[in-house]
Amino acid sequence: MSSSTQFRIIIVGGGIAGLSAAIALRKQDRSITILEQSRLSTEIGATISLQPNATRIMQQTWGLQTLLDDSRGTIDHGFRIYNVDGKLVNEIPLRSMKRYGADRIMWHRQDLHTYLKNIATSTEREGHPAVVRTSARVTRCDCEQGTVTLVNGETLEADLIIGADGIHSALRTFVVGKEVNSKPTGSSAYRLMLPVDVLKGRAPDFATNIGPEEPYTSMIMAHDCRLIMGPARDRQLYSVVGLVPDDRMNEDPDSAQSWVTKGDLGKMLETFKEFPSWTRDVLRNADSIGLWQLRDLDPLDTWTSGRAILIGDAAHAMLPTQGQGASQAIEDAEALGTICAHITNRPSKEDIATALDKVFNCRYERASLIQRFSREAAKPATEKGSNIIKM
C-alpha cells in the first residue's frame, strides 16, 4: 500500500518501453504499477536489436553489467550485404567502432522482455519493485486528474501516467486530444525463426553461404525486397525477416497488423522467387511464418498532457530499417528517469507537467529525425532491373 507522500507512477503497457521506464524510474518512496492488457504468455518468434546508444544506457547508466549473459544476447560484429545474385558486396564491421562506447546486441524478443521484466520487478535493486498487472486493458485516461479506467470499470490514480502501449496506443487520443492512427508505409514483413542446427541440416547451401552461427547481421537486397537475417539466443536460433512492398506480397496487408498474424508459405516463396535458391531453402523450412504490415506515425503535435506522457511507439512509431524503435524507447525512459530524479515525494500537477515538458523538448527533435531516416532507409536498394546496391 502506498503512503500519502509516495510518488505514484502508472505505466500503461508492459513491453520494452514500459519495462524500461519502470527500471529508469525506480527509487525509494515511489510505487510503480505496470498495466499490461495481454497475459504476457505468447512468445513472439522474432528477434530484436538494441543499438549502442541504448545498450550504453542499460549497462552504464542503469548499471546492468550482466545484461549480455543474463539475457542470452549476441553481440553483433557487423553487417554483411549481399546482392540478389547472392554475392557479398559489402561488409561493415561494428566491433571496431570504439566511438560508440557500447555494442549492438541482438536478442530473441522474448529473452530481452523477460530480462527487463525481471529487473523491473527485482527485490534486489534500489527502490520498490514494479508491480505488473496483466489482463489490465485501459480504456480511458484523465490526464489532468491523473486517472486511468480499466475495461472492468476499475479506476486507478497516479501522479504520473506513462503511455507505453505501442503503435495502437489507447492513451494517445487522450494525451493528444484527437484520434491519431498509425499509417501504412507501403511495406510489410514476413518473419520466421529456425534453430541453427536444423537450418544447417535442412539448408546446407544457405549455411555455407551465410554462416548462421556467426555473429553477423546479413542482408540480401533486391530493388524493392530484402531479407534481413541474424542469430539470437546465444546463436542457437536464426531469424529471417523479409521486407516486401504491400503490392508485391501476394497477401492482404491490411489484415496483418498484429504480431501474431500468420503468413502463407506459398505466397512468401512466390514473393522471393528472384532471390538465390539457397535462400528459399530456409524460407520453406520454417515451422511457422509471421506477417505484419509495417506502419509508423507522423511526428505528433505533443507527447504530453497534464500528468501524462507518451513514450516509445505510442509517441513515435518508426520503421525497423534503422533498428532504432526499441532503442529510442530506452532513450525516452532514460530522459524520464533523469528529469524526474529530483522528485522525492508526491509531486504537484505543475511539477509533473514541467518535468514532462522537459522530456518532450529534449527528445522530440531526435526521435522525429530518426523516424524520417527510417522512412528514407526503406527506399529501393537498387535501381529497377539492376543488382547494384546504392545504400
What pLDDT sits at residue 256? 46
Check pLDDT > 60 for residue 255: no
Check pLDDT > 90 for residue 279: yes
In this structure, how many other beta carbons lie within 10 angstroms of the beta carbon of residue 303?
25
What pLDDT sits at residue 286? 86
Please tell me the pTM assigned to this model. Answer: 0.93
Question: What is the arithmetic mean of pLDDT over 170-198?
Answer: 94
- The three three-digit cell numbers of residue 91, written as one number: 561488409
- The three three-digit cell numbers of residue 382, written as one number: 537498387
Check pLDDT > 80 for residue 42: no
What pLDDT sits at residue 113? 96
| % of residues, the chain, pLDDT over 90 | 79
SS3 content of the chain, % helix, strand, coil (to 5): 35, 25, 40
What pLDDT sits at residue 9? 98
The gap from C-alpha 255 to its chain's centroid, in whole angstroms, comes to 21
* 308-328 core/surface letters (b: 16 or more CB in 10 A; e: else): bbbbbbbbbbbbbbbbbbbbb
Check pLDDT > 90 for residue 80: yes
What pLDDT sits at residue 45? 63
Residue 162 and residue 21: Cα distance in Å, rounded?
Answer: 8
Q: Would you place residue 257 in the very low, low, confident or very high pLDDT band (cuts 50, 70, 90)?
A: low
Q: Would you place residue 254 in the very low, low, confident or very high pLDDT band (cuts 50, 70, 90)?
A: low
Which residue type is seen at 272?
A: F
Check pLDDT > 80 for residue 164: yes
Q: Would you place residue 1 in the very low, low, confident or very high pLDDT band (cuts 50, 70, 90)?
A: very low
User: pLDDT for 83-112, tens place per residue?
Assistant: 999 999 999 999 866 777 899 999 999 999
DSSP string, 66-108: THHHHHT-EE--EEEEEETTS-EEEEEESTT-GGGSS--EEEE
What pLDDT sits at residue 39? 80
Q: Write down the mean pLDDT value for the chain.
A: 91
